[in-house]
Structure 1
Amino acid sequence: MAETQKDGECRIAEIMQYSCVPKKNARGVHVVHCVPVPRLFRICPDRPAVEVTRVLNIDIDTGYVEMPKALGQKLPNGKAWRDVIRHDTSSEDE
């Protein structure tokens, strides 16, 4: 996970997900081949987490993550799940 933060500051957190595909090997036995997919999120107090994997500068050799200075301008506006309103259209068809 990410490093410690001071109150009011944003932090970067990482989760590792895996994409897996079942395949038959040379002997006809099914095996599962998985590839790790790291995902990075910017977490700020009182704001929804936003995935920033594609906008960060990551050094493949060292793993060092550098945030662009204008990161806030590159991120989409997000909503907390509690603020998302779902409109049910199925009852309108009846």
Structure 2
Amino acid sequence: MFDFFKSSPQKSPTTPSSKNPERLLKDFIDQAPNASYTFDSERGAPESEICRDTKEKGMECRMIQMHATKLFEVMQDNGFFCALPMDPSRTHMECRRMPKS
């Protein structure tokens, strides 16, 4: 998901199980609502890594206790359009906020 020569993203530790993963995701999105997001996980894994790249802070990532299919659904519920990248060698999902009409 990341190029070898790019700086490594800032990662936070895996989120505590006591917090609602959907709430943690919403809080993460609310910090930079217009950023582009990517997420990835191992097939069938119960957690996914979601990242955003902002000009101010660079790449920021969080581990969310959520299967990728659920994360896809929740991102869409939060107003994002998510799709695979054009490059067929990439397996992560890219999400961009849909304009409000």
TM-score, with length taken from structure 2 = 0.26
Q: Which has the larger radius of gyration?
A: 1
Higher helix share: 2
More strand by share: 1
